[in-house]
Structures are given as structure tokens and as C-alpha cells.
Amino acid sequence: MAINSYKQDEMVNDVSKIKTLSRLFSYLLAHRFSILVVLLIMAYCVAVSLINPLIIESAIDDHISVGDYRGLYKLIGIALILNGVMIVLVKARMYIMAKVCNKVLVTIRQQLYTHIQTLDFNFFDSRPTGKILARIIGDINSLKDVLSNSVKTLIPDFITICAVVGIMFVKNAYLAAAALISLPLMIVGVWFIQVRSHKCWQIYRKKSSNLNAFIHEDLSGIRIIQSFTAENETKETFYTLVHEHRQSFMDAVKYADAFGSVVDFCWGLGNVSLWFAGITILGVDKVSVGTLIAFGTYISMFWKPIMNLSSFYNQLITNISGAERIFEILDTKPEIKDSIGVGEMPEIVGTVDFQHVGFSYDENTKVLTDVSFHIRPGETIALVGPTGAGKTTIVNLISRFYDIQEGNIMIDGKDIRSVSIESLRKQMGIMTQDNFLFTGTIRENIAYGKLDATEEEIIAAAKAVHAHDFITKLPNGYDTRLEERGGGLSVGQKQLLAFARTMVSMPKILILDEATSSIDTKTELLVQEGIAALLKGRTSFVIAHRLSTIQKADRIFVIDNGGIIEEGNAEELLAKKGAYYKLYTAQQM
């Protein structure tokens, strides 16, 4: 598994733009009624803006020129009503459209977030958090304008262009052709720019994501940075990333800003060719002045929506790379998921079996080879061994954080892949090496283990792990608010809270992965006593290095070289004078 860092650009799969676009706009389909209303309103607005010049014309020709006050007032009255209605409708249109767009954004964001929750550790481990965040927040926000402009610009302007071109050809095909002669040039130009700028915008998004990732890491590690006085180094890295970000933007606008220029140039060319064709080739006498003037008007009517469309297209190209990145995550399939038609895990009794389990995180290095063991309900198993030997991997496999490549893992005789992940994990209490506490009160953090835990249950759990004492000493007791990652508490206290959180869920199988490594020995003993009563008869796995933590286990597995090299209780293993004996004596020195 290649790990991406803030320095590297992400790989984004190339998907055809049409596909991305149609997928994006398919979200609008859910609101087709609202959009229909918006389009109807727009039709009215277009009609009124077409009538407005007629009113002015009639006012001048029919009323002002003949001195007809009453007619003038009447006409202006009509105009006022037409425009008044339009204002009300425009207000409605804008509101509906804003609602639709924001709804679509909320939907996409929620969908993305929900999908991310289903993904497995491989996904999270292989990229910095800041890059995932960039997609949930920044990339989605970038779609806002595209969505609202699509309805506002795309459809009406497209219709206008077709109508104008139609009228021009009906009136005088020759002139129309002359006026539109620069159109192919424009299309080629815009196409060229679009291809280049799209690539640049993709890079820009990646750079933006890199920047986000670095900001995230820098802030998360700010204490270590300040402690190592590495501020100048991170500053340099940051400056480089900011520079790359800005440079990628400038590279993109170098092309994107030319959109307008191409259109302007073609407009000029089209105009010249129209007048030239009309006057020189056809001759003034062949084409009526009126037609020429009308064509002049049409040509400006034609270019305006073209300009709008091209700027919309520009915007689309700018932001479509955001959509690509969102859809890419949505298309990432979780590797660990419930297979179709899985059942619920019944209440766990506590038998755990590994049958010839083989596992590797990536294809190259095998972490476990042919591991087999049988654990009876209620047994406490300690896993010891050198760091990186695969202890954590074994417990991760029991909770199905990863899927094995060979063999079977059974709980109570049921293959863990044959039951739903949720029903499995809900019955397990897993304390990982990094105990993450959430912002919120201590009570909320403990109740995370059991959302409907009563006050008594919470306090009982806290007492069992010996956290009650320090909690009650805090200024607000159980209502003390923890900052990010449990800030304000010592690492040992955080471990105790995380322990309480696990205990409140009353797990059927308990997994403690270095759960008490930062707790002093005295407290640790108290914790062990405290949870003994609660966990009576439940299977538990303990990974620890401190002998005092593991000596009481029913069986000790010594893990090394991808498998169990020794097993037995503490006395048996000491008597063996093997690997365990060596570990044991090391600590006595």
C-alpha cells in the first residue's frame, strides 16, 4: 500500500468529463419540479425583456412623437405591471434555485461522508486526513456556483443562440454564414483552452489538497514542532506548498483567462465579416439597410449568450475537477463489507478460533503465516513479542478490521465474515493503541461505548477502571469538557477514560492493545481488580510489554516471525527457558 504524503499529488483516475457532468447534473433531477418552475419563470422573464424594447419603440413612435400623454402613461403602466410581476417571479426563482443548489450540496456532502464511514483502514491509512477533508469541504463547496449557473445560464442561453441562428438563416442565409464564419474558430480555440486548463485545474485541486494536508499535520503536531523549534522548517515547507498552489493557479488561469479573449476576437472577426460580406460582396443595393442593421442587432444578441456560455463553460471546467475528486471517493468500494445476506452475530459466548490464518497488508510482506489457535470462553490470552511482530494484527483480525487472505477466523464456530460487521464489533470491546477521545464532556465520551448508558452505568465503568477519582477532582466532574483529542488530560488519564468507555459497553470479547501502557503500575493493579468482576467469564486478549500486566493471563502467546512461537502460562514458559524467558529476564535487568 503506497502511502501518500502532503508532498505528493494524489492520483485521480481519469474519467470522461461528460460522465462526471451528467452524474453531477443527475442530482438536479431529484428537484425537477422546482427546476421546471424556474425555467417557466425564466421564459416569462425572457419574454418581458423582449417586449421591453417594443414598448419603448411604441412609446416613441406612437405616443411621444405625436404628443400623446395618455397613451404614454398607459403604455408605461402596462410596462410597470409586466416588470413588477417579473420582479416577484425573479425573487421566487432565485430563492428556489438557491434552495435546490444548497440541497444538492448537502446531499452530496452527506452521501460522501456516509460513504467514507463505510471505507476500511486501507483508505484512511494511505492518505493524510487533510486530503480527505479537502474533498468533504472544499471540493464540494466549489460546485455551488456551477450548479446554480447551469440552470440559469445553460438552458436559456442555449435556446437564445439557437433561436438567433435560426432567425438569421431564415432572413438571409448568406449573411448568416458570414456572421458565423468565426464560430468554428471560436469552438477550436475554446476546445484547446479547455483541454489545457482542465489539466491545470486538476493539478490546482491536488495542490490545494496538499496544502490542506500540510496545514492539518502542522496544526496537529504543533507541540512537537515548537518543542523541536522546527517552526522555520515547517514555514519553508508551507511556503513551498503555498507557492506551488499559487503557481498551479496561475498556470490554470493563464489558459482560463483566455476564454474571454478568444470570444472577443471571434466577435470582432464575425462583425467584420458580416459587414464586409453585406456591403462589398452582396452590394448595398442587394441587401436592405434594415436587414443589415437587424443583423447587427442579432449578431450582438448572438454573442452575448455565447460570452455567457463560454464563461459558464470556463467555470464548469474550473470546478469539474472538484466533482471528479468527489465521485472518485464515492466510487471507492470498501474492501471490508458485509457480504450480501449476512446474518447478525448472536450473543457471543467467547470461543475464538484461528484456522490456518495467513495475512499480509500488501502483497509483498507476509505478516502472519498459518496461525492456528483455539480459545475457550472466558480465557484471558496475553500476546507478547517484539514490536512489529504482528500482535496488533492478530487482534485487528478478530474484530475484522482487515480481511485475511488464507484460512478462517471463527467466533463461537461462526466465520466472522458470515455475520454483519456492526453486530460483531458491537459485542467486542477494543482498546487500540491510540485512544481517541472526542470533543465533548467526559460523560459523553464514556457513553460513546453505550449510547443509552445510564448515569449509574457510566459511574460504575469509571469506578471499575479507577478513573472516577480523578474525574470527580476535576472542576466540573463528569461534565468537564474535553478539548480536541482529550486535551487537558494526561496521557494516562486519557487511557483510563478510553478504558471506561470500553467497559461501559460490557463487551463479550475484550481486546486490550497496550491499553494500560501509560498508566502507573499501582493504578494498573487497581484497574485489573476493578474490571475482573465485570469481565468474569468473558474472553479477553491483552497485548502488553509490562510483565505485571501479562503474568496473570491464562495463556501467553509469544508472537514472532509471523506466528506463535511459544505458548503456555507464565510458569510453564519460564520453565521452558525459551523466548519468553529471555523477554522476562530482560526486564529484570
User: Residue 287 in 3-state DSSP?
Assistant: coil
Q: Give the residue with the Cβ less far from other proteins, 150 or 392.
A: 392
Q: Give the residue with the Cβ less far from other proteins, 115 or 414.
A: 115
Q: How far is CA 348 from CA 393, 461, 532, in A?
A: 21, 21, 19
CB of 316 to other proteins, least distance (A): 16
Q: Give the residue with the Cβ less far from other proteins, 434 or 456.
A: 434
CB of 363 to other proteins, least distance (A): 12
Write the DSSP assignment of 33-67 as a string of letters: HHHHHHHHHHHHHHHHHHHHHHHHHHIIIIIITTT
- In whole angstroms, give the CA distance from residue 256 to residue 315: 9
How big, in percent rounded to 5, are the helix, strand and coil portions of the chain? 65, 10, 25
Q: Give the residue with the Cβ less far from other proteins, 373 or 584.
A: 584
CB 151 within 8 A of CB 28: yes
Q: Give the residue with the Cβ less far from other proteins, 17 or 485.
A: 485
User: Residue 586 in 3-state DSSP?
Assistant: helix
CB of 28 to other proteins, least distance (A): 16
CB of 16 to other proteins, least distance (A): 28
CB 438 within 8 A of CB 448: yes
CB of 42 to other proteins, least distance (A): 14
Q: Give the residue with the Cβ less far from other proteins, 16 or 426.
A: 426
CB of 2 to other proteins, least distance (A): 8
CB of 277 to other proteins, least distance (A): 11
CB of 298 to other proteins, least distance (A): 13
- In whole angstroms, give the CA distance from residue 160 to residue 472: 72
CB of 305 to other proteins, least distance (A): 14
- In whole angstroms, give the CA distance from residue 152 to residue 387: 61
User: What sections of 144-288 are H helices per DSSP?
Assistant: 144-149, 155-171, 173-179, 183-220, 222-227, 231-256, 258-276
Nearest C-alpha neighbor of 324 from the set 13, 101, 4, 109: 13
Write the DSSP assignment of 509-543 as a string of letters: EEEEESTTTTS-HHHHHHHHHHHHHHTTT-EEEEE
- In whole angstroms, give the CA distance from residue 93 to residue 96: 5
Q: How far is CA 507 from CA 201, 379, 415, 537, in A?
A: 49, 14, 19, 11
Q: Give the residue with the Cβ less far from other proteins, 164 or 266.
A: 266
Q: Give the residue with the Cβ less far from other proteins, 262 or 531.
A: 262
CB 128 within 8 A of CB 217: yes
Q: Give the residue with the Cβ less far from other proteins, 454 or 490.
A: 490
